[in-house]
Amino acid sequence: MSERVSMRELARAILGRNREQVKRVAVLSTYLDGGGSVGDPSSKVFTVAGYLGTDEQWEALETEWQSILDRFDVPALSMKHLAHFRKDFVGWKGNEKKRASFLEALSGTIHKHDLEGFAFSLNMDHYREIDTHIRMTESFPPYALTAFFAVAKIRDWQRRYRPKDSLLCLFELGDVGQGPVKDKLEREWEDTGMLKPVFMPKEWTENGVTKRCLPFQAADFLAYESNKMLSDFLGKGKTTVRESMFRLGWKDGILERQPNNAYLEAKHILGVARGYRVGPRRKR
């Protein structure tokens, strides 16, 4: 048995019932291509991505998202499981038409409800090379570095387009390297004018009932596709964009709403290192 927990319910549980506080909610999720570990030397890209919307936008999306899951008879979207036809998608292998229709329906409801997308990807080869010379992993693990860039961009968007709105960032709990970002953000959050960030699981069980936060599934969709696109380019030289990634920015051949995105390479990593005075590694 399962049920969805709406973003409006979550926001009110976190912030109270004052609607003036519950203005705009950013939900961030991450996906790492490779072995699923930041320490995997085969991984080319680390990505933090998600969507931003009002609680009204999220509630409308959640209703339609759930109806799509029900129509395709799956309890939740997991891009990693779908890509490899595992768990709830084991019976989909060989049925590319069904997979494409499923992702097309989900990307369509993201467009319909006008969510603002953000995707930041870090070149892991550049990061590892720099980390051999300066203490990046101790100061800014890949998760923390990429999440800081994402939050800064979201904050900049808010100041530009919704300066009177409050902003709450929800991060999917459990990714490697969350400790530093959590500590730094909680110490510096009041100075930014944003609400204290929340780290929570995308699904959990209470009294035998599995509860799911559907916006994390939308974030997973964008994170996976953004990561896959860059990993294919860096690892294989592939320049053709997958149909599922294409649909997240385009609808019926028209650029509907391209996600805000950035690719972080050596110059960005070194810029953070200089700004925060990250020290060199001692030679042995």
The 3-class SS string of 43-106 reads CCEEEEEEEEEEHHHHHHHHHHHHHHHHHCCCCCCCHHHHHCCCHHHHHHCCCHHHHHHHHHHH
**Poorest-pLDDT segment among 70-84, 108-122, 190-204, 220-234:** 190-204
pTM (predicted TM-score):
0.90
Query: What are 117's two structure tokens?
Result: 């997308």
* Amino acid making up residue 259: P
1: its two tokens? 């048995």
Band of the pLDDT at 33, cuts 50, 70, 90?
Answer: very low
Mean pLDDT value across residues 34-53: 76
**Residue 202 backbone dihedrals phi, psi, to 5 degrees:** -80, -20
Q: Say whether pLDDT at 55 is over 90.
A: no
Residue type at position 249: G
Which two three-digit tokens encode residue 245?
């990634």
What tens digit of pLDDT does each residue of 163-180 get?
877 788 888 888 877 887
User: Is 223 exposed, middle or buried (CB count within 10 Å of its CB: 0-12, 13-18, 19+)?
Assistant: buried
Whole-angstrom distance, CA of residue 24 vs CA of residue 56? 9
Residue 93 has pLDDT above 90, yes or no: yes
What's the pLDDT at 247?
A: 80
Top pLDDT among 139 and 185 is at 139
More confident residue, 17 or 113: 113
Q: Report the chain's mean pLDDT, rounded to a whole number.
A: 84
- At 20 the pLDDT is 59
SS3 121: strand
For position 235, what pLDDT does the model report? 85
Answer whether residue 35 shows pLDDT above 80.
Answer: no
158, 165 in Cβ contact below 8 A?
yes
27, 214 contact by CB (below 8 A): no
Instruction: For 238-271, write each residue's pLDDT tens digit.
Output: 888 888 887 887 655 555 566 788 899 999 999 9
**pLDDT at 34 exceeding the cut of 50:** no
- Average pLDDT over every residue of 98-122: 92
pLDDT at site 12: 75
CA distance 186 to 225: 30
The two structure tokens encoding residue 256: 């509907």
| pLDDT at residue 244, rounded to an integer | 84
Lookup: tokens for 112 = 């319909």
**Distance (Å, whole) CA 74 – CA 66:** 10
Mean pLDDT in residue range 34-38:
48
What is the pLDDT averaged over residues 58-73?
Answer: 95
Percent of the chain having pLDDT more than 90?
42
Task: Quote the pLDDT of residue 256.
Answer: 57
Per-residue tokens: 21: 């506080």
DSSP state of 117: E
> Is the pLDDT assigned to residue 190 strictly greater than 90?
no
| pLDDT of 54 over the 60 cut | yes
How many helices and strands (H and E) does the chain possess? 11, 11
Contact 178, 171 (CB under 8 A): yes
Lowest mean pLDDT among 5-9, 35-39, 46-50, 255-259: 35-39
What's the confidence (pLDDT) of residue 130? Answer: 97
- Reduced to 3 states (helix: H, G, I; strand: E, B; else coil), residue 264 is strand
Q: How much is the average pLDDT of 217-245?
A: 88
Query: What 3-state class would DSSP assign to 17?
Result: coil
Q: Which helix (H) or strand (E) holds 110?
A: helix 96-112
Q: Which amino acid is present at 109?
A: T
